Amino acid sequence: MIGLELVVVLGVAVLLGNAAGDRYRIAPPVVLLVLGALLGFVPALREVELPPEAVLLIFLPVLLYWESLTTSLREIRRHLRGIILMSTVLVIGTAGAVAAVAHQLGLGWGPAWVLGAAVAPTDATAVGVLAKSLPRRNVTLLRAESLINDGTALVLFGLAVGITVGEDHFTLPHVSALFAVSYVGGTAAGALTAWLVIRARRVFDDPLLGNVTMILTPFTAYLLAELIHASGVLAAVSAGLIMSQAGPRMAAAAMRRQAEEFWSLATFLLNGSLFVLVGLQAQAAVRELHGGDLTHALIAVAAVSAVVVAARFAFNFTVPYLIRLLDRRPEQRRRRMNYRARVITSIGGFRGAVSLAVALSVPTTLDSGTPFPHRDTIVFVTTGVIITSLVLQGLLLPAVVRWARLPHDTSVEEERLHAETTATEEALKALPSLVDDLATDPAVAERMREEYESRLLVVRADDGERDGDDEDILRHHRHYTALRLALLAHKRATLVRLRDDHEIDDTVLRHVQRRLDLEEVRLSRRQAAE
């Protein structure tokens, strides 16, 4: 019964946590963490644990796949060098710094490196939620770093655990081979999965069947990578990036609409549930330590949290200057960020459920049967660092953004206007030939031409440099849209009345209402964008 109770509790917590966050202008992950910690006092939920397999094999593939589907591959290519450095050098450097501090606090080198590997990677889920208001470049760097650095951290983690339990050894060729297999194998597994899905989507043109293949994509990519001991994280990410380029060319509109609505809801629920479960796990971690051990672990949480942030600041204020000295190309000059933007990037390195899943994956015993050294401390400190990161850095980030006074990012809006203007102009140019090819009635063609010309006037009027005529066009369009929405509401009310009067069946109601809903969504989104 606890399974069903947990599903209901998680759903209610996600609902209330997000509502409270929006109402009081607090980042929802912070509220969800607090709710999770409070739920840990409920006796029926005290035994709930977050299995690492659930995060690594269920939550992680889905969330990373969606993040990669919705990120900008163009921006990743543009900033690829910085992203790779942050995903490898920064992760290894952070893990090493944390290991050194943890060793000074009493952990052996093996467990210290395990802790370092756990807290080194940033979390794509937390970054996507907490940093979404930043300019596109900052968000792209943070999201892309979070998508890739898990692969580096998992290799470090596996190596540290293997050395600690006596099953592995440290040599430069061995470590290089591990990273090569992880990155090359993971990328290849993702590319192969994407190729198979593209072929399957051409066969299954039904929206439901096509989206089933999409749901299977991240799990298949992750599984293929795991079978060859490569990075499942990179497999899911590379599959998502490839599908983000292929999807618009191969999927029908109905399939895309269905997929976007499904994935938006699914990832929203998974994200929220993870934050609640992290709060629950914090309670369990506290209960495992007592007295002096708890005090020592709290000191470790503070020290490791400080080291994690300091490592990002050290990286962001040294490596970029080194690159400037070595690369004097004009395009490199255009990529430069001022120190205020680098402060934001340093603060925005949030830790999340991936770190906790890694810590929980630490084996309980060694081959000799003795307990894994300091396992409870590793789990507690990792949980503490996650909470400190999400709460303190999450609450601090808006103030830092205001301090930075970054210029308003208008690039997305400018490109949207350019895309709509160009697409509409090209459609008008193609209209005569299309009319001839389809033998369209002249009256229909004229009506279509008027609609497209009207739309083009609205798009051009919304270019940011408006005069009196532009304001008249936009006002006319807003009134037109509002009237159409009101008419749709009237039509929907009529349909419901006909159903209630038993003049039409529920099936007919749903069929007609679906068409009205699609039109209303289109008009509402256009109205919101304008």
Q: At a CB cut-off of 8 Å and minimum separation 6, what does 45 contact?
A: 5, 6, 9, 39, 280
For residue 175, how many other CB atoms are within 10 A of its CB? 15
Range(s) of the domain holding residue 416? 412-529
Q: Indicate the pLDDT class of residue 193, thresholds 50, 70 and 90.
A: very high
C-alpha triplet 352, 241, 153: angle, nearest 5°? 35
- The strand pairing partners of 371, in sequence order, are 365
Number of domains in the chain: 2
Whether 309 and 349 have beta carbons less than 8 Å apart is answered as yes
Q: Which two tokens stand for residue 516?
A: 């009205």
How many percent of the chain have pLDDT more than 70? 96
If asked whether residues 392 and 426 sit together in one domain, one would say: no
Same domain, 122 and 159: yes
Residue 429's contacts (CB-CB under 8 Å, 6 or more residues apart) are: none
Determine the pLDDT at residue 508. 87
Q: What is the mean pLDDT of residues 31-60?
A: 84
Contacts of 145 (CB under 8 A, 6+ apart): 83, 86, 87, 90, 122
62 and 166, same domain (yes or no): yes
DSSP summary character for residue 43: G
User: How many residues belong to the chain?
Assistant: 530
Residues 6+ apart with CB under 8 A from 360: 50, 51, 52, 281, 379
Same domain, 223 and 307: yes
pLDDT in tens, 380-436: 999 899 999 999 998 899 899 899 988 877 777 788 788 888 888 898 999 999 999
- For residue 328, pLDDT beyond 70: yes
Give yes or no: residues 258 and 170 share one domain. yes
The Cα 214–Cα 429 span in angstroms is: 36
Asked which of 357, 382, 409 is the last residue of a domain, the reply is: 409
164 and 268 inside one domain: yes
Q: Which residue would you say has higher pLDDT here, 147 or 305?
A: 305
How many angstroms separate the CA atoms of 474 and 426, rounded? 22
| pLDDT above 70: residue 257 | yes
Determine how many CB atoms are found less than 10 A away from the CB of residue 324: 13
- Domain at 338, CATH number: 1.20.1530.20
Beta strands in 143-283 (DSSP E): none
Same domain, yes or no, for 263 and 148? yes
- Given this model, what pLDDT does residue 1 score? 43
Q: Note the pLDDT tens digit of each residue in 220-242.
A: 999 999 999 999 999 999 999 99
Co-location of 401 and 416 in the same domain: no
Domain boundary among 394, 409, 424: 409
Angle between helices 253-287 and 375-388 (to 10 degrees): 120
Lowest-pLDDT range, 42-56, 172-186, 192-206, 287-301?
Answer: 42-56
pLDDT tens string 105-126: 999 999 999 999 999 999 887 8
